């Protein structure tokens, strides 16, 4: 995925060379944003954690913000000011959503862990009524079922 993102970036960057001025700058920033987002997404898929997903979401927010600022550079006066404020607001919103998603994922993990621990304790209590190898088997089964 990383190699593919780099190849796509090189192809897009070469296509930008045919342009000039603001159009070239915007084209190059779009290519960089797509590359950065693709790399972050690949890393998040590889790691598979909520933190990695949040990092990818933050990278997407940063790339989109840089791209929005580049688009605003083509404007002037009040139109440019409004564009920049809108870009900042979207950036802040995207970052806060990414942070909230991490907190939500962490809370879900905590709930799942608490449930597993409680279920394990109940299963272990049931095993206490047994003795010998039956008890050992019961405890091993409980550990397996609840990943303790």
Which pLDDT belongs to residue 148? 54
How do residues 76-102 score in pLDDT, each as one tens digit?
A: 999 999 999 999 999 999 989 888 888
- Distance, in Å, from the CA atom of 14 to the CA atom of 53, rounded to the nearest integer, reads 30
Which pLDDT belongs to residue 44? 92
- Distance, in Å, from the CA atom of 45 to the CA atom of 66, rounded to the nearest integer, reads 24
- Distance, in Å, from the CA atom of 99 to the CA atom of 76, rounded to the nearest integer, reads 33
Spans of the chain, pLDDT less than 50: none
Which pLDDT belongs to residue 102? 81
Report how far apart the first and last C-alpha atoms of the chain are (Å, whole number): 35
Which pLDDT belongs to residue 12? 92
């Amino acid at each position: 995925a990383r190699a593919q993102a780099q190849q796509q970036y090189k192809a897009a960057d070469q296509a930008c060379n045919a342009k000039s001025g603001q159009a070239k700058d915007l084209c190059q920033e779009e290519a960089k944003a797509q590359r950065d987002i693709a790399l972050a997404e690949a890393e998040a898929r590889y790691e598979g954690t909520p933190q990695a997903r949040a990092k990818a979401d933050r990278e997407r927010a940063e790339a989109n913000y840089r791209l929005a600022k580049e688009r605003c550079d083509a404007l002037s006066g009040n139109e440019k000011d409004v564009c920049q404020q809108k870009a900042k607001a979207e950036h802040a919103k995207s970052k806060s959503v990414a942070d909230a998603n991490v907190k939500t994922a962490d809370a879900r993990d905590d709930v799942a862990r608490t449930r597993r621990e409680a279920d394990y304790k109940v299963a272990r209590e049931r095993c206490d009524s047994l003795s010998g190898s039956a008890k050992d088997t019961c405890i091993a089964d409980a550990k397996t079922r609840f990943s303790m």
